[in-house]
Amino acid sequence: MKKDLHTHTVLSDGENSAEEMIEAAIAKGLDVIGISDHSFTSFDTSYCMKLEDYGPYVRQIGSLKKKYEGKIQVLCGLECDCYSDKIPEGLDYIIGSVHYVKADGKYLVIDWNEEVFRKIIEDHFHNDPYALCEAYYETLSSVYGKTHCDIVGHFDLITKFNEGDRFFDEHADRYVSAWKKAMEKLVKDVKCFEINHGAVNKGLRSVPYLNEEMRSYLLSLGGYYIDSSDAHTTANVGRFE
C-alpha cells in the first residue's frame, strides 16, 4: 500500500487544509493518508496546534474519513514532541519527535536555522557539538515514555544543518554511541521509525533521515522503517525523493 503518514495542515505549520492534503494524496495515487499536525507546546506556540483545536481536529478528520471512504483511507494522527503538554483522545497513531533540547532552563529549538543551531552549541554546550548531540539523543530516548508513540519521527533531526559534517563528524565515536544508545532503548517499545524526506523536499539536505547506517542498525535490532514526506504543502504529499 502506498501511504504517507506524516503531513501537516493550517492547524499547525502547514499551508493547506486537511481536505486539500487528502485531495493531493488521491491525485498522487496514495492508498492511505495520515494527517499529523503538531501537538501543543506551551513554551512555543508559533508552530503548533492550540489546545482548544484538539477536539475539532479529531472530529474534522473523522468526518473526512467518512467523506473519502472508498477513495482513500484517511487516518488521524498527531506529531507529539517529547515536551508536549497534552495528547488528545481519538487518535489513530502518534509520531513521537524531538525538536528541542533543554539546557540552562531553556527550551532550545534545534531545527530552526543554521545560525540558531550554531549559537546553541556556542552558548549552551561550551562549543561542544557532541554534547548537544548527546543531549538530543538522550531526550529522544525518552520520547516513547512521554508520548507512547507508534512511530519515531525524524530520528537524526540533529543533522539537519550538518550536511558534509559541517558541525560534527557523524562517524565520530561519541556521536555514534549516542544514537545507538537511544535507538536500542526506543526499539524495545516502538519498532517503526520513519525515513523522513522533509528536509530533502525543502532543499535543505541531499539525503533523508534515517541515514543508511542507522537503517541497517535498526533492522538488526528487529525494527523497521516507513517512508514519510513530512509535507507542509500539497506539493510534497507522497514525495519520497
Q: What is the mean pLDDT of residues 12-23?
A: 98
Where does the pLDDT of residue 25 fall: very low under 50, low under 70, confident under 90, or very high at 90 and above? very high
**pLDDT value of position 85:** 87
Burial class (CB within 10 angstroms; exposed 0-12, middle 13-18, buried 19+) of 159: buried
Helix (H, G, I), strand (E, B) or coil at 102: strand
| Whole-structure pTM value | 0.97
Within-domain flag for 141? yes
Within-domain flag for 74? yes
pLDDT digits (tens, 9 = 90+) for 88-129: 999 999 999 999 999 999 999 999 999 999 999 999 999 999
Within-domain flag for 64? yes
H helix or E strand, kind and range, residue 131: helix 129-140
Q: What is the mean pLDDT of residues 48-56?
A: 96
pLDDT digits (tens, 9 = 90+) for 133-183: 999 999 999 999 999 999 999 999 999 999 999 999 999 999 999 999 999
Within-domain flag for 154? yes
Within-domain flag for 164? yes
Cβ atoms of residues 194 and 156 within 8 Å: no
**pLDDT value of position 241:** 79
Residues 190, 195, 201, 205: is their CA dihedral positive or negative?
positive
Within-domain flag for 27? yes
* Structural domain containing residue 166: 3-236
**pLDDT value of position 71:** 98
Within-domain flag for 241? no
| Lookup: cell for 155 | 530520528
How far apart are alpha carbons 184 and 4 in whole angstroms?
Answer: 25
Bridging pattern class, strands 3-4 and 32-38: parallel
| Number of domains into which the chain is organized | 1
Q: What is the mean pLDDT of residues 83-90?
A: 93
Within-domain flag for 102? yes
pLDDT at 21 exceeding the cut of 90:
yes
Q: What is the CATH number of the domain that holds 45?
A: 3.20.20.140
pLDDT at 56 exceeding the cut of 90:
yes
**pLDDT value of position 6:** 98
Cβ atoms of residues 161 and 167 within 8 Å: yes
* Nearest to 138, CA basis, from 94, 105, 185, 195: 185
**pLDDT value of position 73:** 98
pLDDT digits (tens, 9 = 90+) for 181-223: 999 999 999 999 999 999 999 999 999 999 999 999 999 999 9
| Lookup: cell for 111 | 531545527
